[in-house]
Amino acid sequence: MMVVFKLLIILSLISIINCKEQLYQRYRSPFPYYSKKHVDRKQQEQEQHFVSNDPPPPPPPYQELFFLQTLDHFNFQSKGEFAQRYLVSDVYWKKPSPNDKVCQGPILFYTGNEGDITLFYDNSQFVTNVLAQEMNALLIFAEHRYYGESLPFGNDSWTSDNIGYLTSEQALADYAQLIPAVLSEMGAEHCPVLSVGGSYGGMLTAWFRMKYPNIVDGALAASAPILSFLNTGVNPETFNKIATDDFKDTSSEGTCASRIRSALNDIVTISTQSNGLAQLSKTFSVCGAPLTDVNDLINWIESALTYMAMADYPYPANFLEPMPGYPINVSCSALAQQQDDIQGLLEVLHVYYNYTGQAGTCYNMSVFTTGALGDASWDYQACTEMVMPVSSDGVNDFFPPSPFSLSDLTQQCQQQFQTTPDPYWITTYYGGSNFSATNIIFSNGVLDVWRSGGILETRSDSIVALTIEGGAHHLDLRYPNPLDPPSVTQAREIESKLLQLWASEASLLKQRK
Ligand SMILES: *[C@@H]1O[C@H](CO)[C@@H](O)[C@H](O)[C@H]1NC(C)=O
Ligand SMILES: *[C@@H]1O[C@H](CO)[C@@H](O)[C@H](O)[C@H]1NC(C)=O
Ligand SMILES: *[C@@H]1O[C@H](CO)[C@@H](O)[C@H](O)[C@H]1NC(C)=O
Ligand SMILES: *[C@@H]1O[C@H](CO)[C@@H](O)[C@H](O)[C@H]1NC(C)=O
Ligand SMILES: *[C@@H]1O[C@H](CO)[C@@H](O)[C@H](O)[C@H]1NC(C)=O
């Protein structure tokens, strides 16, 4: 019997249906969930590996605080509060004295995304070390509800009774409630507020400025795919086309990409032969029992390839897995040394999954990033309002074809959460491509797969799109590095100038009487 399979990639939410009509669930965050364990391990790894010539300074010290937050901002019948974590650093802050009419020290507020807030604090050093210093700003990083330590019901937060308070609308309302309270406590009510975020955090930051212009005066939304939804005119296939192009562009005639495509085709062919799965399990050093479904292997390979495109930074970094600078170039050079396509693909995978020997002796097909495991929060968001379709056509990208199917997604979500995703609510609520706002910078890296859903064109003096040639996923938020492409240095300069302009305009409007 021929194996017929269909791959559905919904962001990182992957479902597979094979001929046995078996429905698998494979939820991965596109912007992976960062558990506490993940953060600790990353910090250790960062110390062990990649001692660079120019180590960035540590991020400035912060205070960890908790805010008594309203559980449900949209239902007066519902009572309840929870402790929301936020980090504050006033190392560079020009705190207003009681007599200052105009505030000289703006607030840089990070709209926490789907993970432990300390990880975003540690990986946004353009904000914490550079912008904060240039602007004499107060740093506030707020944790997103249902992530890190901001769990409204502790370990019971994921039950069907309790998880319903997890939405982007509630998260933004948290931020809108937290900021005035904290500023009032600090005598900074008249200080301008600029918000910053990357990835889903960048989407939140853009939406925050759109929905709460009374709270936030300007925003830097880095790699924010606010158009990666249905009904925005974005082709869900572009995501995988960008990943493929990144591999294509490292070699003459695109041989790296075409050989990866051949290797994937070979894998599918081998899997249909008797003993094929056993053979593949051996070739790919699969942990434990041999593969029972080739899709497990293909998912694992696809994750590596798209995550490498997301994290194709110019210098060694440890964003999803520890990798060398320009990992796609490094992996394509290694592939070119191999005659056999599958052996070549193994070299590519090695750069992602095992560059520092982190994989151990075998590869676990359900592990896609170091330590980022098993949290249901993003899965739930992806099964409600955050439906961000990704598909492949096998022509413009090197993956086996896999169209997006809303009905399959719905079936999965009903199984896991008893939810029916609403793919149109986000664009209805936030405006999709037709949003109306001022004072937002949208930055996107050309190498980044999430550029596919970004705002790529400047719309006015104050809705500004920056395209970063040679840049991956929110490279601009990282600490400046001598290996940075000139485009990111330029983007950071524009970001700094615009944010300072918006802060000074707002500080005049907000001055004390
Ligand atoms: C929640 O679970 C973690 C990990 O299992 C455990 O360490 C922690 O003590 C639990 N917290 C509570 C409040 O039960
Ligand atoms: C990566 O490869 C491409 C294509 O060969 C080349 O243009 C680019 O300069 C390389 N980048 C680095 C940092 O080696
Ligand atoms: C793979 O990793 C998962 C998640 O940590 C674990 O539950 C599973 O036992 C591992 N599988 C093997 C074969 O080691
Ligand atoms: C990972 O790398 C280490 C060190 O180079 C090697 O010993 C190990 O076999 C590799 N693991 C796999 C699964 O290839
Ligand atoms: C945005 O506006 C354009 C032009 O008015 C319209 O064609 C398009 O359907 C709108 N898109 C959405 C998502 O509302």
Q: Which protein residue has the closest C-alpha to ligand 2 atom 13?
A: 326
List strands edge to edge, sheet with 63-70.
63-70, 81-89, 138-142, 107-111, 193-198, 218-222, 440-445, 463-468
Residue 186 Cα to ligand 4 middle (Å):
52
Residue 192 Cα to ligand 3 middle (Å):
48
Closest ligand to the CA of 289: 3
pLDDT at 328: 97
Identify whether the C-beta of residue 211 lies closer than 8 Å to the C-beta of residue 172. yes
Is 33 near ligand 2, meaning CB less than 6 Å away?
no
Is 288 near ligand 3, meaning CB less than 6 Å away?
yes
Q: Which protein residue has the closest C-alpha to ligand 1 atom 6?
A: 155
In angstroms, how far is the first alpha carbon of the chain from the final one?
80
Q: Which protein residue has the closest C-alpha to ligand 2 atom 3?
A: 250
Q: What is the atom index within ligand 1 of the atom nearest the CA of 154?
A: 13
Residue 28 Cα to ligand 5 middle (Å):
31
The DSSP output letter for 182 is H
Identify whether the C-beta of residue 172 lies closer than 8 Å to the C-beta of residue 216. no
Cα–Cα distance measured from residue 492 to residue 345, given in angstroms and rounded to the nearest whole number: 35
Describe the crossing of helices 255-272 and 238-248 by its angle, rounded to 10 degrees. 110
Give exposure, 102-128, as e/b (b: 16+ Cβ within 10 Å): ebbbbbbbbbbbbbbbbbbbbbbbbbb
Residue 381 Cα to ligand 5 middle (Å):
25
Lookup: tokens for 90 = 């006033």
Lookup: tokens for 182 = 């904290």
Which residues are the active-site residues? Answer: 199, 448, 473
Residue 380 Cα to ligand 1 middle (Å):
21
Lookup: tokens for 228 = 């990666």
Q: Which protein residue has the closest C-alpha to ligand 4 atom 4?
A: 357
Closest ligand to the CA of 226: 5
Cα 57 to the center of its chain, rounded Å: 24
Is residue 259 within a helix (H) or strand (E), and if so which, with residue range?
A: helix 255-272
Backbone phi, psi, residue 107, to 5°: -105, 130
DSSP labels for 78-89?
Answer: ---EEEEEEEEE
Residue of 149, 155, 158, 159 to mutate, ligand 1, most atoms within 8 A of C-beta? 155
Closest ligand to the CA of 285: 4
Q: Which protein residue has the closest C-alpha to ligand 5 atom 7?
A: 434
Lookup: tokens for 402 = 């896999």
Q: What is the atom index within ligand 2 of the atom nearest the CA of 250?
A: 4
The DSSP output letter for 465 is E
Q: Which of 430, 451, 400 is nearest to 235 (CA)?
A: 451
Does the CA dihedral 246-251-252-255 come out positive or negative? negative
**pTM for the full model?**
0.88
Residue 452 Cα to ligand 2 middle (Å):
22
Please report, in tens digits, the pLDDT of each residue of the chain (513 residues total): 333 222 222 223 222 222 222 222 223 334 444 455 555 555 555 444 344 455 778 999 999 999 999 999 999 998 899 999 999 999 999 999 988 999 999 999 999 999 899 989 998 999 999 999 999 999 999 999 999 999 999 999 999 999 999 999 999 999 999 999 999 999 999 999 999 999 999 999 999 999 999 999 999 999 999 999 998 999 999 999 999 999 999 977 889 999 999 999 999 999 999 999 999 999 999 999 999 999 999 999 999 999 999 999 999 988 788 899 999 999 999 999 999 999 999 999 999 999 999 999 999 998 887 755 346 899 899 999 999 999 999 899 999 998 999 999 999 999 999 999 999 999 999 999 999 999 999 999 999 999 999 999 999 999 999 999 999 999 999 999 999 999 999 999 999 999 999 999 999 999 988
C-alpha separations of 501 from 160, 242, 389, 430, 498 in Å: 46, 34, 36, 25, 5
Cα–Cα distance measured from residue 166 to residue 177, given in angstroms and rounded to the nearest whole number: 16
Q: What is the atom index within ligand 4 of the atom nearest the CA of 362?
A: 13
Identify whether the C-beta of residue 447 lies closer than 8 Å to the C-beta of residue 248. no
pLDDT at 251: 79
Give start and end residues of each alpha helix (H) in 354-421: 377-382, 406-417
CB atoms under 10 Å from CB of 395, counted, come to 10
Is 334 near ligand 3, meaning CB less than 6 Å away?
no
Is 231 near ligand 5, meaning CB less than 6 Å away?
yes
**Burial of 499 per CB tally in 10 Å (0-12, 13-18, 19+):** buried
Is 428 near ligand 5, meaning CB less than 6 Å away?
no
Identify whether the C-beta of residue 50 lies closer than 8 Å to the C-beta of residue 316. yes
Closest ligand to the CA of 36: 1
